Chain A
Amino acid sequence: MSHAMTAQISRRTLLAASSVLAMPAIVRAQDSTIKIGFPVPLTGPYGTEAKDQVACAQIAIAEFNEAGGLGGRKAELLVRDDKLDPGEAATRTLELIENDRVSFIAGSLSASVQLAINNVAKQRGILFNSISQSDQIVALPDWSKTTFHEAMTPYLTAGAVGRYAFKNFGKKVVFLRADYAYGNEMIDGFKAAGAPMGIEVLADLRHPLGTTDYSTLLPRIQSLKPDILVLANFGRDQQISIKQATDFGLKKTTKIVAPILLYTSRLAAGAQAFEGVIGGTSYYWGIEANTPSAKAFNDKYRKANENRVPSDYGALGYAGVRSILAGVTRAGSTDTAKVVAAMEGLKYDSYKGAQEIRSCDHQSVQSVFIIESKSKDMANQYDVFNVLATDAANAENLRSCKDEGHA
């Protein structure tokens, strides 16, 4: 555990102790510290991902501090558990802003949580860099001058995966989406990418979030004989639906494609379940072979974490905090307006190759990696994906700022 983390925990323990004694919790760290709030869902089903995000974010903090900080001012990460609940996240954000007086906030894992944090932060003029996927956060009315989006948008991800899949596996497609914003935005992205390629949508089915039984839908999909089944769902929904599609024998005739394949899910579920599934990711440690920044980041992570490798979502935690600190360095100040100005148009290569923050909507323009789950020839236990293609960073692949409602 890094030094900053330990220091923070002792401060928290102190805070807890003081509240137990019903004392006013006026524990102020030195004003010179640059505080970054980091709400992530430490408890609940994405606890593993969240913990990795914290570990990665600490690397960004350590890098900044080791480089001398901002003229000697050190950065500090204030981790909070948002419990994957927007109400809790909003409360925690209020705590971070009003009580801990953070200068910046990065974090969040689910769409609704990031929109909640964004809403609270923007009302108080605090810069927020989201590391979770959403199309809406970069569009009006949710977006604000202090809103930044480090993660990919569903539109971008689905577009990249779609362009690859429709070209290589066929044009007859069945969509199965989790019925919520993430699923809907992903399918919009696939459809937008597929339209010019002339795909034929055989069916566009929805399932409720948190479905545990897809057997009611699978026979119907099977009878349609599609080339591609797109599963626009996430986490456990994705795991269960892929597993059950395999049980129904769907993989024999149909290629299963998911917009996002999570490294942690794949590790937990095992090779068998994900075998031959195609998907996208914002980061895979294996790109270090030909990406120097990835190699550097992985090495730092390995050193701090017993030689393990960072996950895709974890890496976003690093990037989210690092971009803010890059802005601080560039602005030479922690003043929000100056940092915003410094981050707009910022070009950087922190862990996955060249990226740029688009000025009009503060979206990070970045590459998408198309990956396939491996089941043989694995070099080590972390070697779970093959990178099939890279959809290079290109603002053309994003929704235009005009479509997002920006002037």
Chain B
Amino acid sequence: MEGLSLDLVVLQLFTGLALGAIYVLLALGMSLLFGMLTVVNFAHGAFYMLGAYVGIMLLGVGFNFWLCLLFVPLVVGSVGLLCERFLIRRLYGRGIDYPLLLTFGLSYIMVECVRIVFGTTGLQFDTPDALVGATDIGIGYFPTYRLFVIAVTFVVLGLLWLFLERTPYGLIIRAGARDPQIVRILGIDVARVWLVVFGIGTGLAALAGLLAAPLQGASPEMGNSILAEAFVVTVVGGMGSLVGAVIAGLLVGVVVAMTSLLAPEMAQVSIFALMAVVLLIRPQGFFGRAGLMS
């Protein structure tokens, strides 16, 4: 192969991790929503896209990128809260089909609204000045911004871990993700927990979108293709499992990176082939509960 070396393979691993970091953030939210609310969120890609555009909007009114990192998840998470409160809440207990159809419709609406406001062409999103360029990571230069994406993801994972392990809400959410019945039995105000979960899930998707925007710009369709990939990651990790989402996200990122190095034309199919193989060997994914939703 032309230009292939060990250093390149290691660099590619890092690239895979950066790619995987975005998947992880998306899949975490998706897995939370599925585990807690049994909502298969077809609008997850749209929330991701919204994250990028809200970032552009906030930059436009004078925010800097660092503030965006904080405010974009808050703004989009609030949109998520509204959707849960006024639309999705009415569908709980009606099986997975209805939220699925509703969020599918919702994604159409969100994408079209963004087209109306921001146009169809897609917009550029400049890398923040402090993160432009490449950093020597020992085996070669690697774009600083991508290292930053990996770092942010790990920080978010840490915060999420603290939240889930150290706060009463977290305890309820963890219990609920394992067995939604328990939360109901314990007589907790489930409605509020669900609301919070929806906010966190969509906020994470928005953060992923914001982080991806300097890499690829923003376009109304950016959520469509990544939605399928996020599904793959969630399912491979095991739906409802947060650890699974993290491991599968990074794994899928690395697999895609490696196939695009060795057999680029297979890069797109590799992700689905991986999912098919995993599910045929272990039908519930890495960490999923067997028989879930069956």
Give residues in A with beta carbon < 8 Å to B: 43-48, 179, 202-203, 205-208, 210-213, 215-217, 219-221, 223-224, 236, 239-240, 243-244, 247-249, 264-265, 268-270, 272-273
Contact of A212 among B2, B15, B18, B212 (CB under 8 A): B212
Chain B residue numbers with a CB within 8 Å of A43 are 120
Interface flags, B252-264, vs A, CB<8A=1, else 0:
0000110011001
A-B complex: 9 closest residue pairs judged by Cβ atoms: A47-B120, A216-B260, A268-B121, A208-B268, A212-B216, A203-B2, A240-B216, A215-B15, A216-B257
Verify A248–B143 contact, CB threshold 8 A. yes
**Whose C-beta in chain A lies nearest to the C-beta of B15?**
A215
Verify A212–B225 contact, CB threshold 8 A. yes
- How far apart are A90's CB and chain B's nearest CB, in angstroms? 22
- How far apart are A154's CB and chain B's nearest CB, in angstroms? 19
Contact of A268 among B2, B123, B133, B268 (CB under 8 A): B123
B159 at the interface (CB under 8 A from A): no
**Interchain Cβ contacts under 8 Å between A and B, 11 examples:** A47-B120, A47-B121, A207-B264, A208-B268, A210-B225, A216-B260, A220-B3, A220-B8, A236-B217, A265-B121, A272-B126
Verify B3–A45 contact, CB threshold 8 A. no
A95 to B74, CA, bound (A): 47
- How far apart are A102's CB and chain B's nearest CB, in angstroms? 26
B100 at the interface (CB under 8 A from A): no
A206 to B263, CA, bound (A): 9
Chain B residue numbers with a CB within 8 Å of A213 are 15, 19, 215-216
A208 to B122, CA, bound (A): 20
Chain B residue numbers with a CB within 8 Å of A215 are 15, 18-19, 143, 146, 215
**Whose C-beta in chain B lies nearest to the C-beta of A249?**
B134
Residues 97-153 of B contacting A (Cβ, < 8 Å): 115, 119-124, 126-127, 132-134, 140-141, 143, 145-146
B293 at the interface (CB under 8 A from A): no
A45-B120, A46-B120 known; A247+B15 contact, CB < 8 A: no
A275 to B261, CA, bound (A): 27
Interface residues of B, count at CB 8 A: 46
Verify B260–A207 contact, CB threshold 8 A. yes
Contact of B217 among A44, A249, A269 (CB under 8 A): A269
- How far apart are B18's CB and chain A's nearest CB, in angstroms? 7
A247 to B260, CA, bound (A): 19
B31 at the interface (CB under 8 A from A): no
Contact of B120 among A44, A224, A269 (CB under 8 A): A44
- How far apart are B222's CB and chain A's nearest CB, in angstroms? 7
B279 at the interface (CB under 8 A from A): no
B294 at the interface (CB under 8 A from A): no
Chain A residue numbers with a CB within 8 Å of B268 are 208
**Whose C-beta in chain B lies nearest to the C-beta of A202?**
B2
- How far apart are A241's CB and chain B's nearest CB, in angstroms? 10
Q: A203-B3, A240-B217, A247-B143 are in contact. List 11 more A-B contacts (CB 8 A).
A: A48-B120, A202-B2, A216-B12, A216-B256, A219-B8, A219-B11, A220-B2, A236-B219, A239-B122, A248-B134, A269-B124
Q: A203, A208, A215, A240 — which one has the most chain B CB atoms within 10 A of its CB? A: A215
B186 at the interface (CB under 8 A from A): no
A211 to B260, CA, bound (A): 11
Chain B residue numbers with a CB within 8 Å of A206 are 264-265
A386 to B123, CA, bound (A): 23
A61 to B267, CA, bound (A): 46
Q: B119, B145, B215 — which one has the most chain A CB atoms within 10 A of its CB? A: B215
- How far apart are A244's CB and chain B's nearest CB, in angstroms? 7
A204 to B8, CA, bound (A): 17
Verify B124–A243 contact, CB threshold 8 A. yes
Verify A216–B261 contact, CB threshold 8 A. yes
A146 to B46, CA, bound (A): 43
A243 to B123, CA, bound (A): 12
**Whose C-beta in chain A lies nearest to the C-beta of B120?**
A47
**Whose C-beta in chain A lies nearest to the C-beta of B119?**
A48
**Whose C-beta in chain B lies nearest to the C-beta of A204?**
B2
Contact of A217 among B220, B260, B265 (CB under 8 A): B260
A45 to B217, CA, bound (A): 13
**Whose C-beta in chain A lies nearest to the C-beta of B132?**
A247
A207 to B264, CA, bound (A): 6
Chain B residue numbers with a CB within 8 Å of A248 are 134, 143
Residues 200-234 of B contacting A (Cβ, < 8 Å): 212, 215-217, 219-222, 225-226
